[in-house]
Amino acid sequence: MIENGMRYLRGYVKIQIQGYSPERFLNLCSYHHILIWGLAYEDHCYELCMSVRDFKRIRPFAKKTHTKVRVKEKYGFPFSLYNNRKRKLFFAGFIICIFLLQIYSMFIWDIHFTGNETRTDEALSSFLREKGVFAGMLKKEADCRKIVKEIRTQYDDVVWVSASLDGSRLKIQIKENEDSFEKEEKKKDENAVDLVASSDGVITKIVTRTGTPQVHVGDTVKKGDILVSGRVEIVNDSKEVIGYKYCHADADIFADTQMEYEDELSASYEEKVYDKKEKHRFYVKVKDTRVSFGSVKMKPNRCEFISKEYGVKAGKNFYLPFSYGMETVRSYHLREKIYTKEEMRAVLSKDFERFCKDLQKKVFK
C-alpha cells in the first residue's frame, strides 16, 4: 500500500519490450538493481512497469540486447501534474488551500480547560476574554506564562495552572485546592472575640483551636453562654496568672439541641393536564436577526412555552455567531385534586429531609 503510494508519487511507466531476447534484458535490469513489477506476456511482447528514474537508465541495456522499448502508459503524480498544467484554477486552488491552511493555523481556534471542578468553563473563558485571550486570536499573541500568572492571581483556590498550545488549541490545565481557605478571611478581624452558644443544648464534642474552653463535654448550656473565651491566661512556672492575652476564639463545638419544625400542606392542589395539542416552530438566528418557520399561535388557553436554543460551534469552545432552536407550545388545563394521606406524608417527609440537609449545609459551611 505504502509502496504503491510511493510509486505513484515518484511516477512510473508501463513499457512494452520486444526483441530477440527479452529475458536477457530483464536479467540485465535486475542485475543493475532496476525494480520491475507487473511483468506480463502478451503475444510475443512483454509489458512491464518501472519507475521513471529507472527508465532513464535502461537505454544502454536495450541497445546491448537489441530490444525495442516502447512506452505504453505513464502513471503517477509528475505526469498528472504535467497533463493538468493548463488547469490554472486547479493549481490556484491547491495553492490557496495550502495558503489558507497556513493562515488558519496561525490562530487559536479552541480553548480547552481540564481539571476545573468548581469553576465552569464559561466563567474561565469569560475571564480570559477580559484579559484578551479568546478563541480566534492570533497564536503568537498568546503568552502562556502571562495567562498562567493571570489565572493564579485571579483565583486563589487554584493551586496549579498550566497553559500550553497544542496545535491550534490552547490547553489550560488547572488543579484546584480541595479544602478552601477560610482562615484568611478570619484573619481580617483581629479583635478578641468569644464564642457564644446560639441555642440551648448539651455539648457532645468540642475541639478548640484558639481561646480557652469554658464548657466540657456533657455540660448543659443555655443560649448566650460563653463556650470558648477569647481571653487566654498566661501563667508562669508556678502556675500563677501573670497576664492575659486576647485572641479571636475559634473552635468546632457540637451539641445536641432542640429545634421546632413545622410545616403545612394544603390538601387540595392543582394538577396540570396536558391536552394533546402541540405546536412547533423552528428558527435560525444569526446574531440578533431571527428567521422562524411555522407558527405557535394557540387559542386563548393555558399553555406552556418551551424554547430550546443551540449555538453552533466549531470545535469545543469556539462559538460561531449562528444559533438555531425550536419553540414548542403545549396547551393544558388545570384540574383540582386532593392529596391522599400517604401522598401527603411523602411530600411532607421529603420537605423535612430537605430542611435537614439545608441545616447541615448551613452548619458545615
22 binds other proteins (CB under 8 A): yes
Q: Does residue 33 bind other proteins (CB under 8 A)?
A: yes
**And the C-alpha cell for 298?**
394557540
User: Binding of other proteins at residue 23 (CB under 8 A)?
Assistant: yes
Residue of 302, 297, 306 whose CA lies nearest to 326: 306
Helix, coil or strand: residue 240: coil
**Cβ-proximal residues to 12 (8 Å cutoff; 6+ apart), any chain:** 49, 50, 51, 52, 74, 75, 76
Q: Does 69 bind other proteins (CB under 8 A)?
A: no
Residue closer to other proteins (CB basis): 33 or 216: 33
Instruction: Compare residues 30 and 105 and give the one whose CB is closer to other proteins.
Output: 30
Where does this chain touch other proteins (CB under 8 A) — which range of 23-31, 87-95, 215-223, 259-267? 23-31
Report yes or no: 262 and 278 within 8 Å, Cβ to Cβ.
Answer: no
Q: Does 240 bind other proteins (CB under 8 A)?
A: no
**4 near other proteins (CB under 8 A):** no
The stretch near other proteins (CB under 8 A) out of 30-38, 112-120, 212-220, 342-350 is: 30-38
Which residues, at least 6 apart from 11, have a Cβ–Cβ distance to it below 8 Å? 51, 52, 74, 75, 76, 77, 78, 79
Structure-block grid coordinates of residue 134: 479568546
Q: For the chain, what's the residue count?
A: 365
Strands 169-176 and 110-114: parallel
State how far the alpha carbon of 218 is from the alpha carbons of 255, 256, 311, in Å: 9, 10, 60
Smallest gap from residue 27 Cβ to other proteins (A): 4
Nearer to other proteins, 28 or 144 (CB): 28
Q: Does 46 bind other proteins (CB under 8 A)?
A: yes
Please select the residue that binds other proteins; options are 4, 18, 30, 105, rule is CB under 8 A: 30
283 SS3 class? strand
CB of 9 to other proteins, least distance (A): 18
Contact between 36 and other proteins per CB under 8 A: yes
Name the region of 30 (left: φ>0; alpha: ψ -120 to 50; beta: rest): alpha
| Residue from 5, 9, 10, 37 binding other proteins (CB under 8 A) | 37
Which residues here bind other proteins, judged by CB under 8 A?
Answer: 22-23, 26-27, 29-31, 33, 35-42, 46, 48
